[in-house]
Structures are given as C-alpha cells and as structure tokens.
Amino acid sequence: MNLIGKAFQPTMKYTALIFIQLLSIVFLATAQNTTLCAVKYKEYNTNLGTHSYWFYNNHYISISIPNYKAQFMNGFPVIINGVQTTQTDTVKYNKEFNEFVTDIADQAKKTPVDVETQEYNTDTKKTANFLDGLKKYVVVVDTLPTMNSWDILDEIETFMGYQCQKATINYKNEKYTAWFTTKLPYNAGPRDFRGLPGLILKVSNPNQTYGYEAIEILTPYKGVVPTFKSDAQTLPRKSSEWITLVNESNKKSREAHDNMIKQMVKDIENGKKPIN
C-alpha cells in the first residue's frame, strides 16, 4: 500500500496533529464494460482496511479503503476540561471515539482518492497521488520486481464459487502460495502479485502473516470506478523531485494545522469557551 504522508487537518474540536493517507471512495466515472470484474480483497493479519480492484481486459485500477475505527483504536484525541488528551478506552469514551471517527470519515470523503493502475504482465505500476498540502495530483511510477517464476501445481480448490488452481513462487526472499482461476481471465491479483494465467483470488506466505483474500466478486460489473489522473505530472517514486514534493506538501499541511492551533489559543484568550 502506498503510505505517502498526507496531512489530515482536524476540525476545531481536535488539536492533535494526525498524518494519515486519506483514501476515500470517490467514484468519478461510470464503466459499462461487460468484461469488467470488480473484486474486493481483505489483507491478512490486519483490520486496517480493504483493497478494491476493477479488472479490465488488459489492466486494472485499484484503491484502498481504510477502516478508521481499527486505525485509531490505540489512540484518539479527547478534550477534557479544555485540555486535549489521547485516550484508548473506546468504551468509556465511546461517544468521543465515534464522533472522532465520523469526523475523519466525513473529511476523507472531501479528499480526492489515490488511484493505482497497472497493465497485466508488466513490471510498472502507476499511482495518482493527491498531495493535500499542495492541492495537486502527481503520478508516481514504481518499477516492480519480475514475477515470472511461478510453479503451477495440480491441486484444485473451489473458492467463492470458482475453481482455483494452486501456484507457488519465491518472491522477495519468501515463498508465497496463490490460488488463481482461469474462469476470470485476468493475469493479475492483489497488490503486486501477477503473472498467472488467471485472476489470483488468494495469496499468502506460509504462516499467513502477509497476504490477500478476495471477499467480494462482482462480474460483469456495470457500476462506477475511480478515475486515474493520467494527465498529472509523472515522477519515479525514488526521484528527488517526488521526495521534495512530498516534503513540501507535508510542510504546508503542518503550517495550516499550526495556524489553526494559534487561532484556537486566541479564541480562548478572548474569552471564548473551549469545546469539551
């Protein structure tokens, strides 16, 4: 998952500086291609969100959908007697926790979504990242390690109504097992997994500390899909230009947050009652 820092600016009732990548479902274009297949994957060993994919004839588009409650179970801001604290008790502070999560989700809906796209059987992935501090998109290019040394085995398993075949690969110094189906003829899968003669529905390392599993399949899909910003500035992820833009965006977001805090202090000094 692309974890470039995006600054989240809380409402006046929160003073915590929270940087997260705001990813929201902002559907911008309608797709009526009968060959289009939509798949949602869960990530093993985490409850931080799901990954939605739309598979076309020769490429896919994907976004990540965060689970805000899971992300902030271990810390969320609560203002007590005019002083901000960080709490983890979601039972005692259930009202504050739910209000905080709702506030984040509502603001995320106003932020453009980051969209990934990749052509099948290629080693290049593009992500249209929205830099909130600069209010602009930048297309970031990743060059992925090759994935062409799969061992396709005879084992068969039925998963979500599809007959899947087993395949294994050594990738990034670890062995992975995948289950793919030729009934969905897309040579791709979740995240960077690809290169099999069908769609990967499950993939994981031996102890399932890392991997993905399809939890919803819609085909043919005739709904809406995110739009990829192909006309934005394009930069390699490891380039100095991209790193500079990220740092500049984060700096501007921090400045906006600091200005908000200064205004809150002025309001308190002028006799305005802080929100408890």
Residue 244 maps to a domain:
yes
- Write down the pLDDT at residue 34: 44
The residues facing 12 across adjacent strands are none
Residue 127 maps to a domain:
yes
Q: Is residue 211 pLDDT above 90, yes or no? A: yes
Q: What is the pLDDT of residues 246-269, one digit of tens each?
A: 999 999 988 877 777 677 667 766
- Write down the pLDDT at residue 23: 29
The residues facing 178 across adjacent strands are 167, 203
- Structural domain for 19, as ranges: 7-145+210-269
Residue 199 maps to a domain:
no
CA distance linking residue 52 with residue 63, whole number of Å: 6
- Closest to 71 measured CA to CA, from 42, 105, 37, 40: 105
Q: Model-level pTM?
A: 0.78
Residue 152 maps to a domain:
no
Residue 225 maps to a domain:
yes
Residue 13 maps to a domain:
yes
Strands 59-66 and 115-119: antiparallel
Secondary structure (3-state) at 18? strand
Question: Cβ(117)–Cβ(60) under 8 Å?
Answer: yes
Residue type at 8 in one-letter notation = F
CA distance linking residue 6 with residue 133, whole number of Å: 8
CA distance linking residue 50 with residue 44, whole number of Å: 10
- Write down the pLDDT at residue 78: 87
Question: Cβ(180)–Cβ(164) under 8 Å?
Answer: yes
Residue 203 maps to a domain:
no
Residue type at 96 in one-letter notation = E
| Higher-scoring residue by pLDDT: 106, 193 | 193
Q: Is residue 109 pLDDT above 90, yes or no? A: no
157: left (phi over 0), alpha (psi -120 to 50) or beta: beta
Lowest mean pLDDT among 22-31, 62-71, 115-124, 218-227: 22-31
Residue 73 maps to a domain:
yes
* Domains: count for the chain: 1
CA distance linking residue 150 with residue 153, whole number of Å: 9
CA distance linking residue 16 with residue 30, whole number of Å: 38
